[in-house]
Structure 1
Amino acid sequence: MLKLLPEVVLEKSIEVPGIKYSTHITILPSDRFCISDDFSTLVLADQSGNLLHTISDVSDKGHGTHTVTSSGDLIYLDNGHNVCRLSSKDKTKNVLFSIKDPWTPWCVYSSPSNGDMLIGMKTAGKQDSKVLRFNSSGKELAVFKQKDSKNNCLFGIPHYITENKNGDVIISDMKTAIVAMTRDGDFRFNYRGPPFRYRRLLARAVCTDALCNIIVNCATTGSVQIIDKDGKFLALLLEPAETGMNLIPYGLAYDTESNLLVIGSQTGNILSVISIYRTKDLVLTK
């Protein structure tokens, strides 16, 4: 069975030039990272922190503004409301499709199972929000349900989005915390923090691991929390004040090849690569 380590283990720290802090992290093939901040800057770097490429037109709306396709190409949102592909071979930019006014895309994820694009978006003034599924050519396939059975709005400000291995779509929302939807867009559950915390989860980055667990960091506590695929709280993975790590967590990414968690900092350009599992106990799910 899978067993979490009693304490996370810092494997290494990586200083990444060209960014002020790490809002969002995408893990690319060949031991590379893509990291962005809130200043329209996105950089590609290797595991030694060597700068490989810089993009200066990434959207400054939202946070989860880039993802990677199954073929290794980077997908990102630019400041023109476009969904763009950066070729992994020659770094050329191609606009795949555009999001029309009054909507502005805030987060994007490329499904590794079928190449669909999952996009969270808002209108100007942050009045309305929704999550949609598109194919890679920009054809709208589905609009996710926007209210639960009690007519409560599911989305307020969807700023990160990912897909779990069981097909669920996981949205980190600045107003409603973590929202889990089925692949068809039906509501499954939301997670607002562990039962023993009096302060509600203010969700930031979110990712999933090889066992379908969901990992999220909380802006109000600076903690990194892990829940199972059904929203049950499992553990506090990281509380900087207790571990002594010199970071306030922001961006998150889980590397399923190495089973390591990569954490970006709100206060600088350092990525922390940590172990959260005993690798020998890890049983991968197909």
Structure 2
Amino acid sequence: MIRLSAFADEISQDPGEQIDVLTRHGVKHIEFRAIHGTNVLDLSEEQHRDFRARLKDAGFGLSAVGSPIGKIRITDPFDEHLARFARALDVADFYECARIRVFSFYMPPGDDPAIHRSAVVDRMAELAEVALERGVVLYLENEKGIYGDRADRVHDLLTTVDSPALTHAFDPANYVEVGQAIDAAWTLLRPFAAHFHVKDYSEEQHRNVPAGEGDGQIPVLLEDAVRHGYDGFVVLEPHLTVAELSYGFTGPERFADAANALKRILDEKSIPFA
């Protein structure tokens, strides 16, 4: 079953507006990255209590904690980051959401990724081990500049770590941006794809576009995923106005374009969703 979600901070930093806009579009889950201009891991306990109450009152849940874990340089010290990961696990517990989005570390520009493979594998294995002990699943997202920017390296990480606590959040636009052939990436990673980010990218226009208008082959991928039994979240992360390394923004008006484009694809492919 396809369940719709969204990075609601792409709509607004105001939690009330996030929930109102998503409700209008029939989306009842949030990939929780930020409110009040503050990252999910840096919010106060009071802010978390207030947001959790808002979600409960509106009948919302979280598709995942959209953490920035793994968005440091592979050459940076890891101990402090492990403490931040512990915070992510506590946040996941607080929201009763056993899913956390993670990354696989930035590499110094120009470095051969093979130089850093061992360090990345070791760090991902440690994160997965701790997550497994806590009953949490990590969703490894591909991204430009990260060790796991291309499908072969994502596949290598997943199969080498080989943990039920580490799986893949497939982001078509991010693959397109690094010149990765989408059909090859999907063929290789479909068995590991437990989370799907709806972000499309046009190589011709050099920008993000609504789903189905770029080179991410989102209609084909979603149809194939469902045919092969995909049961999970499809998460809007449109980046239609701003697309930065750690931040994307779409706004409430353009979010409507993104949501309508996704629902149109699902309807045309006769894919049920909730």
Same fold (TM over 0.5): no
Please state which structure has a larger fraction of its residues in helix.
Answer: 2
TM-score for both structures, normalised by structure 1 = 0.35
